[in-house]
Amino acid sequence: MMNYPIKIYTDGSALSNPGRGGYAAILTYQGHEKELSGGFRLTTNNRMELLAVIKGLEAIKKRRQEVIVYADSRYVVNAVTQRWVMGWEKKGFEKKKNADLWKRFLAIYRCHNVKMVWVEAHAGHHYNERCDLLAKKSASKGPWQVDHVYENLSPTLGL
């Protein structure tokens, strides 16, 4: 029996940076699709890009799955493929932005066999374009959640 990978396409958006933000993820597996999206009243583009990947991975019900994540965020893809996030973790995420999300990412990332693939934004890729639309719609129309970590830390950290 062939074990096909779960594919996750992601995007994040911030209408101004920081500002209202949104994330989107589309999971595909053997002809099935699941769309996830949400908006936040005050956040950053990078937080939404990373949250989109997290939400996609968290939506997988069974552990130890083969997963390919397609993202147009070099910040997220390079942090994983270049193993920067592992170094940040070893140093306790000292002076690193989005430490809360990176810790959450690593917890779910380690539950699966994940390959990260960078895709060019706005290049006509169907799922990337769909994620872009969903993320922007969530950012602009809401309903908006509160990114408590960002809102509580931003004044003290100058984020």
With CA atoms as reference, report the closest residue to 54 among 96, 97, 114.
114
Q: Any catalytic annotation for residue 72? A: yes
Q: Is 147 a catalytic residue?
A: no
Which candidate in 22, 112, 132, 147 is catalytic? Answer: 132
Token code pair at residue 33: 């699709």
Out of 38, 39, 56, 72, the active site residue is 72
Q: Which of 11, 21, 22, 39 is catalytic?
A: 11
- C-beta of residue 23 within 8 angstroms of C-beta of residue 147: no
Marked catalytic residue, from 49, 56, 112, 147: 49
Pairing state between β 113-118 and 66-71: parallel
100 tagged catalytic: no
Per-residue buried b or exposed e for 117-141, using 16+ beta carbons within 10 Å of the residue's own CB: eebeeeeebebbebbbebbbebbee
Which of 32, 92, 122, 124 is flagged as catalytic? 122
Of 12, 22, 38, 56, catalytic: 12
Do residues 26 and 119 make contact, with C-beta atoms less than 8 angstroms apart? no
| Active-site annotation, residues | 11-12, 49, 72, 122, 132
